[in-house]
Structure 1
Amino acid sequence: MQDTPDAPEGAAPAPVAAPKVSQRILAQYIRDLSFENVLARKGATGDVTPEIAVQVSLDGRKRSGIDNQYEVTTKLTATSKGKATGDVLFVVELEYVGVFQIEGVPENQIHPYLLIECPRITFPFVRRIVSDVTRDGGFPPLNLEMIDFVALYRNEIARRVQANQPAAAPRLDA
């Protein structure tokens, strides 16, 4: 069926093809990396069975003056503490940036695309860096679990919405 002005009344319009999404990784780099081996500095005392906490935050922005190019930064902090004492064993802080050329994503979808799809691509590199740094720092390699970037995005949106809501007005009971 053709979508022309001559089409009979009531005829369904021809389906519109979805825009083709094109994505290229132009560059990846470590913006900042820090590994602090507190255990080596202070010395080991007692049980050093680790308890590890990992925090991840994401930032995506358009590169100024360049069409269709975006920077996506993954910030990761991993802190290992002894279960028995709570003493810090090591801290890893990493900022890893991917530079992407993205075309065909509607403007209203670029924000979730940047903070979900782009980190999925760079995460294996982040994971490898953290593993290598912890191993080279004298600990067993820290092999990060896969991250659900969709859930991370939704949680951040929900947190921002809740933070912007005004406090509930006090109720007056008659």
Structure 2
Amino acid sequence: MAEDNQSNGAAPNSQPQQQVKMQILAQYIRDLSFENAVAQKGAPTGDVQPEITVQVSLDARKRNNDNQYEVISKYRVKSTNKGDGQTLFLIELDYGGVFHIEGVPEDQLHPFLMIECPRMMFPFSRRIVSDLTRDSGFPPFNMDPIDFVQLYRQELARRAQQQAESSAKEQQSSS
């Protein structure tokens, strides 16, 4: 039987899409700070009800080598006692990765760097935070999975609002 080249739905002379290639060249702790307030001040009196907040920020930049990018995920994990608001511990972790990326269109590179790369690094950051809390005498804290797509959308909305506010201020000052 003869094969029909057009049966797959592709146009006969269309260019094949370039395959996306991503390779993690390195992952590393760029900066790490852990403050154990319980050990410094002594255990809180009364009933301890820890409340943990996690803040995440991301940064990415092009490196000097072709197709190489550095992505930094910054985590700030703070545990406070719900009853009196005293800090139990504070972790600040900057976790970096160096990626070799090919085949991503230029207009999609920024979202790729800010979503896919942190998603690949997250399990390692999570383990560092978990091990650090456990090794410091606290129950291990396993960060919930992070929706990096939603985080990216929130940052875009924040920047758009900031830009709209500065445009409004410029219009008022020029009037």
- SS in structure 2 of the partner of residue 145 of structure 1: coil
Alignment of 1:5-44 (within 5 A): 14-44=13-43
Aligned letter for 1:148?
A: D
Match of 1:118 in 2: 117
The 2-side partners of 1:123 and 1:87 are apart by 28
The C-alpha deviation readout for 1:56-75, integer Å capped at 9, x for no partner, is 00001101x21100000000
Alignment of 1:81-92 (within 5 A): 81-92=80-91
More helix by share: 2
Q: Tell me the matched-pair count.
A: 160
Is 1:56–2:56 an aligned residue pair?
yes
**1:36 positional shift:** 0.5
**1:106 positional shift:** 0.7
Q: Which moved more, 1:116-125 or 1:45-54?
A: 45-54
Q: Which runs of 5+ in 2 are unaligned?
A: 6-10
Give TM-score scaled by structure 1 length.
Answer: 0.87
Q: Which moved more, 1:89-98 or 1:15-24?
A: 15-24
Aligned letter for 2:128?
A: I
- State the superposition RMSD in angstroms: 1.8
The 2-side partners of 1:111 and 1:137 are apart by 37
The 1-side partners of 2:157 and 2:12 are apart by 38
The 1-side partners of 2:91 and 2:38 are apart by 13
Match of 1:6 in 2: none
The C-alpha deviation readout for 1:5-26, integer Å capped at 9, x for no partner, is xxxxxxx673332211001000
Percent identity between the aligned chains?
62
The 1-side partners of 2:39 and 2:127 are apart by 23
The C-alpha deviation readout for 1:18-60, integer Å capped at 9, x for no partner, is 2110010000000011110001111122222100000000001
Alignment of 1:1-174 (within 5 A): 14-44=13-43, 45-63=45-63, 65-165=64-164, 166-167=167-168
Aligned letter for 2:103?
A: G
- SS in structure 2 of the partner of residue 76 of structure 1: strand
The C-alpha deviation readout for 1:134-154, integer Å capped at 9, x for no partner, is 111110001000000000000
The 2-side partners of 1:167 and 1:42 are apart by 48
- SS in structure 2 of the partner of residue 167 of structure 1: helix
Give TM-score scaled by structure 2 length.
Answer: 0.87
- SS in structure 2 of the partner of residue 15 of structure 1: coil
The 1-side partners of 2:13 and 2:145 are apart by 41
